[in-house]
Structure 1
Amino acid sequence: MPKRTDIQKIMVIGSGPIIIGQAAEFDYAGTQACLSLKEEGYEVVLVNSNPATIMTDKEIADKVYIEPITLEFVTRILRKERPDALLPTLGGQTGLNMAMELSKNGILDELGVELLGTKLSAIDQAEDRDLFKQLMEELNQPIPESEIVNTVEEAVAFAATIGYPVIVRPAFTLGGTGGGMCANEEELREIAENGLKLSPVTQCLIERSIAGFKEIEYEVMRDSADNALVVCNMENFDPVGIHTGDSIVFAPAQTMSDYENQMLRDASLSIIRALKIEGGCNVQLALDPHSFKYYVIEVNPRVSRSSALASKATGYPIAKLAAKIAVGLTLDEVINPVTGSTYAMFEPALDYVVAKIPRFPFDKFEKGERRLGTQMKATGEVMAIGRNIEESLLKACRSLEIGVHHNEMPELAAVSDDALIEKVVKAQDDRLFYVSEAIRRGYTPEEIAELTKIDIFYLDKLLHIFEIEQELGAHPQDLDVLKTAKLNGFSDRKIAELWETTADQVRQLRLENKIVPVYKMVDTCAAEFDSETPYFYSTYGWENESIRSDKESVLVLGSGPIRIGQGVEFDYATVHSVKAIQAAGYEAIIMNSNPETVSTDFSVSDKLYFEPLTFEDVMNVIDLEQPKGVIVQFGGQTAINLAEPLAKAGVTILGTQVADLDRAEDRDLFEQALKDLDIPQPPGKLLPMKKKQFLQLVRLASQFLSAHLMYLVDVLWKSLKTKKTFVLICVLRLRQVQTTLFLLTLISSDKSVKSMPFQTEKMSLSLVSWSISNVQVFTQVTQWPYTLHKPCRKRCKKQSQTILNA
């Protein structure tokens, strides 16, 4: 079917600000869609409120409105632009909810604007819990026993008939917002009340808990001719009960039989056909691990976070093709841009394993509720590709940038068995590391599977990793064991740790014995057809498929997973740097580990390496590509932290040099630079300090907090993974005086400490942050409505100085 000619102008709605459950993946989807529509000759108008996104660049759409995505503003833009059609399915829940609001207020009918992609009836059927339940019953698709409620009392009454635990699922919310699992009436009343408030239609689904079932996702597509296909299926490491955005995910699904796969595939295709969705759709299902029984959990009638993951996992550009389908093209007439020869109707095939691990914000919010449930808490995610589960999982672990380079947290060795098992059973953000520690202590996969309902297949893989650790420890410098470890994703750092040597020596041993990675292409077809996509991942095998070109190249390091303090703005910078490199006549190479971003779209750069952003992995790419240099200044702190080790290894750092980075990051050098420039600054002093003095300062801060309520003393004692660095921040915050006593204490391996009084005229800051030796420390500061008496100030300062002088 040819593309539609009765429409010329299309408005695309973005997803607005980055929030939990709706992050950079919608910038990726929206950018792909806008470019795809322009490619087909349509005029594109974009509405989005997030200026940090690629999609709000003026070359992405013909007209860009950076305005609030509210009924008032979007209606104004519709009246001014008079588009023929509206495409809301690439703007996440924000886009869908806005389309529904425009329709209910009669704006679309008044202006004659057609809705593309997903019809209003389909949005209603997928998002409205009552209509969804009716549709599943019509299709004979099983759903958990459930009831739609509009009041807390209705929720309590239904739960009493089916028993606890129950799950609360609010209608028309994002990332499970307002929902949760309830073990008793008290929890149900609290969660249901909140869920009803957050649902725009004041509606919740109360359903029987099926926690413990396998959670499986199918990413499916359909066109106007009713052609439908499965792009990718994905299996959650964690069972049902944990939001899929907070769970480790593997693609393709690893533990299903062919019969189970076909059963769930048929169910997913029947659902997208019944909804008559034209574009992409995500179907979530629960599979009983002990029978062929399954349930449909929910359907997202739009491009989602899982769509971005499926796109990067397979190379199949879901958002780009969804936009083409929305304007009338069919899957059997659109060429797959990856192969350049097959059509989009061809289902992707994978000859590798993809692992996704969520990135949580608890390094910044240490007192936050870390228990995982049906409400999403992760701010971002990383993805890694390997030839087996072990390789992809360990690559993903070292991509997280949480201070680990393996599926191991050394501090867990001090945790008691009882505390360990409690953490294993009660899922938190770091459960993978607790489960791995349990295996190291001798708990069997069968025992852990019984406690957690995690499939024993994955636990056997964790056991295999531990067995390789033991082999490495027993056979230092053994090349055969080294090869086995590298085939299974072990880093040089972990091997060095087990061999009691350095990572540099392990790397040197590898290079001397030609134990180096090869790079395989992500081609959507498992090498069945010739492909032209420049999208690669590393593995330790045979036949390198990434051929260095004769053109001089520049490597740009991305910023890794989205987290607090390092968001989509760095991806924006990375993409623009690539454009500038290409305009200057160089080959632009990107290296990144985030599946949500525009930078990891293989069409953006000349070559894409989906790899962890560690010294080892970056050097492996450099060894192959031999670039003119590496640019680190657009990848946030992630890339900046790699500048010094890369420079020491002889790599040319382009742009801001390491010495200049140090001058900005190192407090002493920065103070000296300000002094040289005659710029006023807070006075600083470097003092020697012992740990005993440090602990005395902690106690002093605590005493003042107890004794003087006119203080706010927020003390943060953080032990880093190296066990060599400790950070203490004491902030004495006063609202009605011009002086704030600020005591910053840092003990590092060289036992140095810096103590600075800090003055400011305004006391209205809500967050104070410092970067110390590449460690980001955030301390919450609130306003205190009292004046600090002068004697108290003197006493605190005097006691602090006494300790320092001791």
Structure 2
Amino acid sequence: MHHSNNSQDFDTADKLYFEELSYERVMDIYELESATGVVVSVGGQLPQNIALRLQEEGKAKVLGTDPQDIDKAEDRHKFSQILDSIGVDQPAWKELTSVSDAEAFADEVGYPVLVRPSYVLSGAAMSVIASQAELKDKLESASAVSPDHPVVITKFIEGAQEIDVDAVASKGELILHAVSEHVENAGVHSGDATLVLPPVNLDAQVMARVKEIAQKVAKAWSITGPFNMQIIKADVGGDEPALKVIECNLRASRSFPFVSKVLGVNFIDAATKALADKNVPAPRDLMAEKRDYLATKVPQFSWTRLAGADPFLGVEMSSTGEIACFGKDLIEAYWASLQSTMNFRMPEPGEGILLGGSTELPELPKIVEYLEPLGYKFLAASQDVKKHLAKSGTSIEVIEFPKTDKNELRKVFQKYNIRGVFNLAKSRGKTLVDEDYVMRRNAVDFGVPLFMEPKTALLFAQCMNAKLPRTEGIPPEVRSWSEFAGGKMM
């Protein structure tokens, strides 16, 4: 079974090779140009890994956050100790060097757990593991766990909401911060997630607590320049939800341009002034300023480039690009975003919609509820899905579904005029004849829009309900950036 995975599974040798090459190139340029400083906070993960060496071995002046502090964020043990010392919560975790210890820890915190080798880049080679048998299989098949190759196991909190914080600090003081919420539950890589800014589901109390965490982190790591955090919000009982930091990078993230455009303030400009220690702007709480618009950042996938890969989102990143759109509300912004993705054709009322996936998830019946008034023909490949949805009185036709003959399946798609597929599975397909895998994969191969993540699928069904049938002329969501954000970037 192929898995879609654009992030490479770097082993230790590869990692060291790329770091060595990068270090030598940076030092060559640094010496050739007689540079007065080097910036390591705008180039992804690799510069972070060599920051300490540039300072200590290369005697280069690293601008911004001290590499000693960067190391304290990159080293899981130091990172956790500092979070504990400043009273910031985190999910239970442990670094382990044997299968038996890993099993014992997973039993102690309870499944599911997130497992990753401790030496890889963010997001690569991670897995959410639901049982002891699966854990044993993962660790033994990869020969991944040993004293030389420890694994980090973290308690995976199901149904949690993920929050992204992009921020700029100067000498440990928070200057700017943006709080974006994910539409998808935690467990989808932040590069594959749908971001909403400003958030629509975070109350003032949660926003204040997130700002306080950002302030504490900026101070604890003496941050100068850009940084970003992922925080999960989970209901664990009690008066207020738990906020747990799952990651903190002392560098700019992929969403820095997005938050700058949406909020009308150039975050990287502020970060550069902080790095140079010149004209550093005064602290400003952008999230306290009210806006009559929001924006969504949605992923662009290229599943067709990965033959046989299962179009299914998980902790490893799969997207190859992203699109940001504005709107007066979430419905308008998300509607515009999805229609802007490459090769997207809206399923029109009267055409066929194929439904499938897990009958345990609550979203599929709600999707049918939103779409039913629009006059689509609802189709299913199994009686189970029909029974699951028939409770609401919806008319669903079970159709033939040849799983091993692509040509015959293409004819079925044509025969029933299938122009949209909603397949909400709980996990990847295990085999090449798994019904849900075949449905997802062939929707992609036949150029039919596929909705396979529960939260975004439900949101788009809501958009279809609100926006179809279309009115003539220019749609109301089509307006210029300056109309939304008010003109020039500050």
Q: Does the TM-score normalized on the shorter chain lie above 0.5?
A: yes
Q: Which residue of 2 aligns with 1:468?
A: 466
Shift of 1:328: 1.3
Please tell me whether residue 155 in structure 1 is matched to residue 102 in structure 2: yes
Report the Cα distance in structure 2 between the residues aligned to 1:412 and 1:522, rounded to whole angstroms: 37
Please tell me whether residue 521 in structure 1 is matched to residue 482 in structure 2: yes
Matched to 2:266, the amino acid is P
C-alpha offsets along residues 581-635 of structure 1, whole Å, 9 cap, x if unaligned?
Answer: xxxxxxxxxxxxxxxxxxxxx9xxxxxxxxxxxxxxxxxxxxxxxxxxxxxxxxx
Matched to 2:167, the amino acid is V
Report the Cα distance in structure 1 between the residues aligned to 2:317 and 2:167, rounded to whole angstroms: 23
Residue number among 276, 291, 316 corresponding to 1:327 in the alignment: 276
Residue number among 112, 134, 152 corresponding to 1:187 in the alignment: 134
Matched to 2:214, the amino acid is S
Cα separation, partners in 2 of 1:73 and 1:197, compared to 1, 3 Å: farther
Q: Which residue of 1 aligns with 2:111?
A: 164
Please tell me whether residue 440 in structure 1 is matched to residue 392 in structure 2: no
Q: Which residue of 1 aligns with 2:37?
A: 85
Contact between 1:145 and 1:207, CA under 8 Å: does it hold in 2?
Answer: yes
Contact between 1:218 and 1:230, CA under 8 Å: does it hold in 2?
Answer: no
Report the Cα distance in structure 2 between the residues aligned to 1:312 and 1:380, rounded to whole angstroms: 17
Q: Which residue of 1 aligns with 2:174?
A: 228
Residue number among 193, 197, 214 corresponding to 1:251 in the alignment: 197
Residue number among 60, 76, 98 corresponding to 1:129 in the alignment: 76
Report the Cα distance in structure 2 between the residues aligned to 1:345 and 1:362, rounded to whole angstroms: 41
Matched to 1:72, the amino acid is E
Q: Which residue of 2 aligns with 1:541?
A: none
Q: Larger relative CO (CA 8 A, sep 6+): 1 or 2? A: 2
Matched to 1:107, the amino acid is E
Shift of 1:141: 1.1
Please tell me whether residue 303 in structure 1 is matched to residue 289 in structure 2: no
Shift of 1:230: 4.1
Report the Cα distance in structure 1 between the residues aligned to 2:331 and 2:351, rounded to whole angstroms: 22
C-alpha offsets along residues 229-259 of structure 1, whole Å, 9 cap, x if unaligned?
Answer: 4431111011111112111111111111111
Contact between 2:313 and 2:453, CA under 8 Å: does it hold in 1?
Answer: no
Cα separation, partners in 2 of 1:248 and 1:102, compared to 1, 3 Å: same
Contact between 2:327 and 2:477, CA under 8 Å: does it hold in 1?
Answer: no
Report the Cα distance in structure 2 between the residues aligned to 1:161 and 1:520, rounded to whole angstroms: 51
Corresponding residue pairs, total? 399
Cα separation, partners in 2 of 1:411 and 1:107, compared to 1, 3 Å: farther
Cα separation, partners in 2 of 1:282 and 1:437, compared to 1, 3 Å: farther
Q: Which residue of 1 aligns with 2:185?
A: 239
Shift of 1:302: 0.4
Cα separation, partners in 2 of 1:519 and 1:360, compared to 1, 3 Å: closer
Residue number among 93, 107, 110 corresponding to 1:146 in the alignment: 93
Shift of 1:202: 4.3
Q: Which residue of 1 aligns with 2:302?
A: 361
Instruction: With the length of structure 2 as denominator, give the TM-score of the two structures.
Output: 0.70
Shift of 1:118: 2.2
**Larger Cα-atom Rg:** 1
Q: Which residue of 2 aligns with 1:271?
A: 217
Please tell me whether residue 395 in structure 1 is matched to residue 395 in structure 2: no
Cα separation, partners in 2 of 1:517 and 1:99, compared to 1, 3 Å: closer
Contact between 1:75 and 1:107, CA under 8 Å: does it hold in 2?
Answer: no
Which segment drifts farther, 86-95 or 162-171? 162-171
Contact between 2:371 and 2:464, CA under 8 Å: does it hold in 1?
Answer: yes
Q: Match of 2:303, SS?
A: coil
C-alpha offsets along residues 304-346 of structure 1, whole Å, 9 cap, x if unaligned?
Answer: 11223222322322222212211213633xxxxxxxxxx6746
Cα separation, partners in 2 of 1:139 and 1:172, compared to 1, 3 Å: farther
Shift of 1:439: 3.7
Shift of 1:461: 5.8
C-alpha offsets along residues 149-181 of structure 1, whole Å, 9 cap, x if unaligned?
Answer: 245454233213222210124446434112121
Q: Which residue of 2 aligns with 1:557?
A: none
- In structure 1, list runs of 5 or more residues that go unmatched: 1-18, 23-66, 333-342, 426-430, 473-494, 497-505, 534-601, 603-806
Q: What does residue range 293-692 of structure 1 map to in structure 2 within 5 Å? A: 293-329=242-278, 331-332=280-281, 345=284, 347=286, 349=289, 350-405=291-346, 413-415=353-355, 419-421=356-358, 436=367, 439-441=370-372, 464-468=462-466, 472=469, 495=470, 506-507=472-473, 518-519=479-480, 521=482, 532-533=488-489
Q: Match of 2:305, SS?
A: coil
Q: Match of 2:227, SS?
A: strand
Report the Cα distance in structure 2 between the residues aligned to 1:85 and 1:255, rounded to whole angstroms: 42
Report the Cα distance in structure 2 between the residues aligned to 1:352 and 1:69, rounded to whole angstroms: 45
Report the Cα distance in structure 1 between the residues aligned to 2:136 and 2:158, rounded to whole angstroms: 20
Matched to 1:142, the amino acid is D
Report the Cα distance in structure 2 between the residues aligned to 1:372 and 1:222, rounded to whole angstroms: 33
Report the Cα distance in structure 2 between the residues aligned to 1:68 and 1:400, rounded to whole angstroms: 38
Matched to 1:129, the amino acid is R
Q: Which residue of 1 aligns with 2:60?
A: 113
Cα separation, partners in 2 of 1:113 and 1:458, compared to 1, 3 Å: closer
Q: Match of 2:304, SS?
A: coil
Shift of 1:368: 0.6
Contact between 2:93 and 2:152, CA under 8 Å: does it hold in 1?
Answer: yes
Cα separation, partners in 2 of 1:233 and 1:392, compared to 1, 3 Å: same
Report the Cα distance in structure 2 between the residues aligned to 1:205 and 1:353, rounded to whole angstroms: 37
Aligned-residue sequence identity (percent) comes to 22
Report the Cα distance in structure 1 between the residues aligned to 2:230 and 2:454, rounded to whole angstroms: 21
Report the Cα distance in structure 2 between the residues aligned to 1:352 and 1:326, rounded to whole angstroms: 31
Cα separation, partners in 2 of 1:256 and 1:395, compared to 1, 3 Å: same
Q: Match of 1:521, SS?
A: helix
- In structure 2, list runs of 5 or more residues that go unmatched: 9-18, 374-388, 393-421, 427-451
Report the Cα distance in structure 1 between the residues aligned to 2:349 and 2:197, rounded to whole angstroms: 25
Contact between 1:169 and 1:179, CA under 8 Å: does it hold in 2?
Answer: yes
Cα separation, partners in 2 of 1:327 and 1:211, compared to 1, 3 Å: same
Matched to 2:261, the amino acid is K
Report the Cα distance in structure 1 between the residues aligned to 2:54 and 2:140, rounded to whole angstroms: 27
Q: Which residue of 2 aligns with 1:52?
A: none
Q: What does residue range 36-115 of structure 1 map to in structure 2 within 5 Å? A: 69-103=21-55, 106-108=56-58, 112-115=59-62
Matched to 1:375, the amino acid is E
Q: Match of 1:206, SS?
A: strand
Report the Cα distance in structure 2 between the residues aligned to 1:409 and 1:152, rounded to whole angstroms: 53
Contact between 2:64 and 2:223, CA under 8 Å: does it hold in 1?
Answer: yes
Matched to 1:146, the amino acid is W
Cα separation, partners in 2 of 1:259 and 1:455, compared to 1, 3 Å: farther
Q: Which residue of 2 aligns with 1:486?
A: none
